């Protein structure tokens, strides 16, 4: 239960939408879509849209931590995004590196644990070093666990999990009969974290685009027409409000 002091803070800072702060989703997953279209509508370059999106992400990660969400996973860069222009890809890499440097300090101050999930072997060494540094520096934080899916593909994640399990079978660490859903989950990038209870995608697109396909099987889906840079605290609370109004039956 949220303390009276915490509830007073929430009422003072989040009274724009009525939600039950004792019934928040433990894990929220977000596809942050629409940066480029937001920028185009404003006559700006794509990199300006990504910059605005990164700033909004920082605000909402802090907000999630403030209100008591325990896990946040965002889709920042997919394995398919390499097909974008060289300039845009380079800008995204620079934004992530700058973002990680910023969160190195802010994560500790805000008690936010940063985790970067996805393929690393084709990233620049300096970027991998930045990822390792922020993960190491914030690993003891006990507030929000903030997963950034970068160079991520859902089928690739499942493929890698299968390979890890196969290696364990080959090494006689487990038998085929011992492979369960729990074993598979423990070999995913989000091991030891609950599956997302709420999935959000911005910009009006109505698909999951290969994001966390194993983890999203019972997740409530919410789609917003807002582009990511304009998806603020009020929009997030509206999504949480919708989640709280649903009857989650889990196949019953």
- Write out the catalytic residue numbers: 33, 81
Find the Cα–Cα–Cα–Cα dihedral 83, 201, 54, 98, rounded to 10°: -50
Buried b (16+ CB within 10 A) or exposed e, 88-122: beebbbebbbebbeebbebbbebebbbbbbbeeee
Two structure tokens written together for 40:
């185009």
CA 121 distance to own-chain centroid? 21
Segments in the chain forming alpha helices (H): 4-13, 35-41, 46-67, 86-110, 125-138, 154-170, 181-185, 233-244
Closest CA to 30 of 193, 224, 192, 191: 224
Two structure tokens written together for 117:
């999930």
Query: Residue 48 and residue 41: Cα distance in Å, rounded?
Result: 12
Span between the terminal Cα atoms of the chain, in Å: 28
């Amino acid at each position: 239960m949220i303390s009276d002091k915490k509830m007073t803070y929430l009422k003072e800072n989040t009274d724009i939408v009525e939600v039950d702060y004792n019934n928040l989703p433990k894990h929220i997953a977000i596809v942050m879509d629409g940066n480029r279209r937001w920028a185009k509508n404003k006559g700006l370059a794509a990199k300006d849209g990504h910059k605005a999106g990164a700033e909004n992400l920082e605000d909402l990660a802090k907000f999630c931590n403030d209100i008591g969400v325990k896990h946040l996973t965002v889709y920042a860069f997919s394995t398919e995004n390499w097909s974008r222009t060289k300039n845009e890809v380079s800008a995204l890499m620079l934004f992530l590196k700058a973002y990680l440097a910023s969160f190195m300090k802010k994560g500790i101050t805000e008690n936010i644990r940063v985790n970067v999930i996805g393929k690393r072997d084709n990233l620049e060494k300096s970027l991998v070093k930045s990822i390792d540094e922020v993960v190491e520096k914030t690993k003891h934080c006990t507030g929000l666990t903030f997963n950034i899916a970068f160079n991520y593909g859902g089928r690739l994640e499942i493929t890698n999990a299968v390979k890890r399990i196969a290696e364990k079978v080959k090494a006689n660490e487990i038998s085929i009969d011992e492979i369960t859903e729990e074993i598979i989950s423990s070999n995913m990038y989000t091991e030891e974290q609950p599956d997302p209870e709420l999935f959000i995608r911005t910009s009006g697109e109505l698909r999951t685009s290969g994001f966390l396909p194993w983890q999203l099987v019972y997740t409530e889906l919410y789609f917003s027409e807002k582009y990511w840079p304009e998806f603020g605290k009020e929009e997030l609370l509206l999504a949480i409000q919708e989640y709280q109004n649903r009857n989650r039956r889990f196949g019953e």
